[in-house]
Structure 1
């Protein structure tokens, strides 16, 4: 009996050790895991934080920049933080109802436009102390108060959607040969965009005519304007006589718009006629009806660069904002604006 008790004691000790030793071995590793991250945090994503550091740095550069906007209606200058300016431009230039990828494309174009403007210090046509106006001469802009007034009960979701589009493209601009492009845009094409030299002087390699079939779904695709014969003649400085023929189109552009019209020896360009008659587009046709002339146009805007309704059409078909901008701006790259923003900040 005395020999059995030591054996029972030894068995009890061995059993206890089987319980204690694994716990001792596991505890150091458990402590190490807890020290490596917060409860619930996926520590496998630590590299993503490092990746976001550069984006945060660029965002800081944007925060340091202000834009001096001349408010044309009040004749005052507003100094607006960079991101707020972009939100105000996208809000004024593109319907918030548009698809997210179209809004991102617009935000990218708007950022590129203002960065290019600030770097070049181009203030032609801008009052002293301002850098841009809030009109179509540059980029249309509205502040928060105006958004609240215009959007009413839809203010929260519309502004939130636009802020997301601006932040999703934070720090990105469009460049060609390493320089920010002149990111022109317009409302609606006639099914195509226009070569830059067909509307203004100067062949810009990234502003090429491309197809834009999505424009045909735009509510602004087709319009009519009625003028009296006298108004028509006075505005254009021509005489058309009593016949039904009104000038002769002698040239069309690559983008299928009117290039030149010959009025009995006086030749006017399509863009010139558009401006003088205040037409929506330089893709026009007209018909005489008694003492009036009915002018029908296709598209809305100059047609150079990105079509906004075309961008939305592409987004509806599944294109992302990178694909959209690279369709409308040929041969461009999407690059970081950090160094350029830093240059602007250093010049302050």
Structure 2
């Protein structure tokens, strides 16, 4: 029974061919994960309890922080376990859960970043109508669309991927169960799956990215007409943080998903995936706190309140 179960487990090859690197990565990933949990939790707390942050921008930022916490948690504990010891296995059920959850949250983040770009467009280009445009009902609806899009994509892509016959191929050249690497385990022609993955990537990666670029195109035009230096700094402060987050996330994830599966490189793909699954969720709260005056002031008020000063 034990042997049968062991054979059913996937082997996450990860970085096992570089044992010296595993020790370094363990510390880096552990520190990044702890910073992710602390940084994003602080953003959720201050956005929830600080009256000055009860705005659409911070409503969406709260959702982004929640997505980042859950996204990285679906991957990092298993990664740390594999980096720490010789065992590199993950059960079929564990792999399926990881595939569905990480795919759903990653897809949700893609759409959510586009929603946040639309919010910045409305704030900069339609300032007089902003409260009416970005009303609470619309904000909740847009957040719901982001979550439902992610869940829907995960159900479709995850199910199709898991149903592929593997003929006993269980050595996964990755550190977590991700669609591009899992497709390579199939022992049948996967051209149709590659096309399907590419189409899904167009819809959930390139379409949101195109909407983000359109939003910032309008924002740039509006900013060029602003003569106040203070207004310039305010716009660049709020939009700059979001643009940096978009660049980090999309710059890495598109390198993995917008390419033919046959050209998916083992080594490069793993490091790129490591960036958007581990490093980006860590950097997001740092970017928003270091570049955003409102967030920094809210953090100071939170700590002063806790200290009773």
Query: Do the two structures share a fold, i.e. TM-score over 0.5?
Result: no
- What TM-score range do you get, normalising by the shorter chain? under 0.3
Greater share of helix residues, 1 or 2?
Answer: 2
Structure with greater strand percent? 1
Q: Could you say which structure has the greater relative contact order, defined with CA pairs below 8 angstroms and 6 or more residues apart? A: 2
